[in-house]
Amino acid sequence: MSRDHVEPVERSVTDADAAVRGAEPAPGVPGGVTGGAEAPFLELLARGASADAYERPVLLARAEGLPAERIAALEQAKLLALRVRSELEGRRRREAELSALFETAHDLAGLRDVDAVLQAIVQRARSLLGTDVAYLSLNDPVRGDTYMRVTEGSVAARFQQLRLGMGEGLGGLVAQTARPYVTDDYFRDDRFRHTMTIDAGVHDEGLVAILGVPLMLGANVIGVLFAADRRARVFEREQIALLGSFAALAAAAIDTANLLTETRAALADLERANEIIQDRSAVIERASDVHDRLAELVLRGGGVHDVAAAVSQVLAGAVRFTEAGAAPAGALETSRAEGHAVRHEDDWIAAVTTGGELLGALVLRGHPGLDPVDQRTLERAAMVTSLLLLARRSAAEAEQRVRGELLDDLLDARDRDPRILRERASRLHADLDATHVVLAARLEADTADADQEAAARRRLWSAASHLAATRHGLAAARDGGTVLLLPLAPGDSATKLAHRTARHLGTAVHEAVTVGASAPLQGPAAHPDAVVAAYEEGRRCVEALRLLGRCGDGAAADDFGFLGLLLAGDRDVTGFVERTIGEVVAYDERRGTDLVRTLDAYFACGMSPARTKDDLHVHVNTVAQRLERVARLLGDDWQSPARALEIQLALRLQRLAARIPS
């Protein structure tokens, strides 16, 4: 021990000796009587005897029958000696504590391994406080709990591996209040929240008395330092303060380790940044190259595919422009919302947008490890593509207006010369002698803002006009929506065309669009009245879809079965009857049979063969044979509810048309 550590003890002994010499005699005892009474106690002090040994001189004096004055003097000297002994022990303890704190601070100053420093802190705390166990827990901000970092004297594996939720156990109370807490009997203390996990670990370790002090970094609690005994114990104020000092050193060690880690990380980041800067030079050159190429394309009037080809060369990958409906919907929406290219599996998707309208996408195929600068290059190419498309759209708007005027003339000026209509359509690459379908399209956006609604309608008209131009058709804004006249390809149907159109327009304007289609229309130039009727049929189909809750969908009047009669207005009733029971009627005409009358009677008798044979005055087997023939003509599902309803309606219409009495 150093001279600085010894001097306080020597001063304590001198002070104690002076106290004995200068002590006042006991009340009623002459001052001279105490002379020599302190001698045995000074010897006990010199030997460092236990506190019990200080009773022996008094007991001997009483046993020898010494005067009461002498015994009183010995009692007085004993009390003074015990005070000196207590003071000496306190100073020695504080000296050991200060020495331990000094050594811990020295370890901290030369910090190399934070785990070693924390282990030393826990060991010294356990030694100086004389506890069975000491341990330190740290908060985990990622998982939101606290875990055992260091233990000393622990024997239970479950205790050493405890993870505690915030606010649980004595440690949770310390963390919440940022103040020390002590319990002399853990399991009987209800000041904190007990949990099965914590109590099981404490029980395995056999702990009873526990003292916990917070580890503070500024105003934040980052953990708790504990000292614990396996028996009931009262921790003194000085012991609590000592453990708090060790906790402060532990927090400083952790803070220092964090700073060292951050410094090393910063140095590593600087090294990586230097490497990245060196590696970026080639990438920046590529970005400059693509910028020059894109600028040249814009100046010489290049197209979107020219942009895709230029970017493909720079990025050494396959880049192509695609329509919005052909790109992955989720990735395309994310790119549109964030304004950046996004990865989709091994591809990259960059949305091509203008305002709130989605025009398409640039897709880079098979290039998962795209560099950030190259990603920006793809995004810039998407912006240039949108500018080119806008320029093309501006040039095409005049053509779109012409297409709209032609369709308006078909719908309004029914006395137009068909030859002139064909010539105007030919200049727009449309053939009005081919089979077409009239489609009525309506937005389903529910907004009270008139400006927003008008903007949505403009986007719908723009998208419909673009679709009509690419499909060699016509489009016009009408009745708050859009009407299209599109050619019907061989093998296609009005229903399929309506579905595709609804999906295409909805994707383009990013809102639900409902589309109703007319029946196929042959040679609209020569039949303007049929165009008007077909448009009304498409509008009624849209209203039917809305009533059926199918907003955003597409359908044709034929999709509604016999309800198509109600939608079509002046559709051909004879055609409906022919499609529904024409095979049966033709069979009767060819063979002279009575299948139609049998069907009428069968439905009138509640589809009961037994009652039907009575009504027809034939054998039941005859009824069965006729119904089998009907099944071969109409199909096995002719008695299903939907088919049966249509057949009954066709029978009724056929009977009314022929004026056959029921």
Look at residue 568 in the predicted model and tell me its pLDDT.
46
Given a cut of 60, whether residue 297 has pLDDT beyond it is: yes
Helices (H), 413-524: 418-427, 450-470, 494-509
The tens digit of pLDDT for each residue in 85-112 reads 777 776 776 666 666 666 666 666 565 6
Provide the pLDDT for residue 248.
85
DSSP string, 340-362: S-EEETTEEEEEEEETTEEEEEE
pLDDT in tens, 323-360: 877 788 888 888 888 888 888 888 888 888 876 678 78
pLDDT at 466: 86
For residues 88-101, one letter each, b for 16 or more C-beta atoms within 10 angstroms of the residue's C-beta and e for the rest, the string is: beeeeeebbbeebb
- Cβ atoms of 486 and 436 within 8 Å: the answer is yes
Lowest mean pLDDT, pick from 403-407, 594-598, 622-626, 637-641: 403-407
**What's residue 109's pLDDT?**
57
What does the DSSP assignment read for 571-584?
Answer: --HHHHHHHHHHHH
CA dihedral over 617, 623, 629, 631, signed as positive or negative? positive
Alpha-carbon distances, residue 407 vs 161, 277, 400 (angstroms): 79, 60, 11
pLDDT in tens, 176-206: 888 999 999 999 998 888 999 899 999 999 9
| pLDDT mean over 366-390 | 78
Q: Return the pLDDT at 357.
A: 76
pLDDT at 451 over 80: no
C-beta neighbour count of 481 within 10 angstroms? 19
pLDDT exceeds cutoff 50 at 7: no
Q: Is residue 252 within 8 Å of residue 220, measured between CB atoms? A: no
Among the ranges given (294-303, 458-467, 580-589), the one the predictor scored with the smallest mean pLDDT: 294-303
User: For residue 516, is pLDDT > 80?
Assistant: yes
Which one of 266-270, 473-477, 557-561 scores highest in mean pLDDT? 473-477
Q: What is the mean pLDDT of residues 538-545?
A: 82
Q: Report how far residue 63's alpha carbon sits from residue 60's, in angstroms, rounded to the nearest whole number.
A: 5
Reported residue count of the chain is 662
pLDDT at 299: 64
pLDDT 10s digits, 123-147:
888 887 889 999 999 988 888 888 9
Amino acid 353: pLDDT? 83
- Give the position of tokens 């490497």: 275
Region at 360 (left for phi over 0; alpha for psi -120 to 50; beta for the rest): left
When pLDDT is cut at 50, 70 and 90, the band that residue 552 belongs to is: confident
pTM of the shown model: 0.37
Query: For residue 385, what are its two tokens?
Result: 């593509």
Across 482-496, average pLDDT: 90
Taking residues 549-559, report their average pLDDT: 82
Per-residue pLDDT reduced to its tens digit, 16-65: 333 333 334 444 444 443 456 778 887 887 787 887 888 888 888 888 88
The two structure tokens encoding residue 292: 């020059």
| CA-atom Rg of the chain in angstroms | 49
**Span 408-419, pLDDT tens digits:** 777 776 556 778
pLDDT(570) > 80:
no
Give the residue-averaged pLDDT of 518-546. Answer: 82
Query: What is the predicted pLDDT for the residue at 501?
Result: 92
Residue 525 · residue 422 · CB < 8 Å: yes
Instruction: Please give the mean pLDDT across all residues of the chain.
Output: 79
- Residues 259-293 have pLDDT tens digits of 877 887 888 888 887 776 666 666 666 666 666 77
Which backbone phi and psi does 186 adopt, to 5 degrees?
A: -55, -45
Q: Which distant-in-sequence residues (6+ apart) come within 8 Å of 328 by Cβ?
A: 344, 349
Which uninterrupted H or E stretch holds 344?
strand 342-344
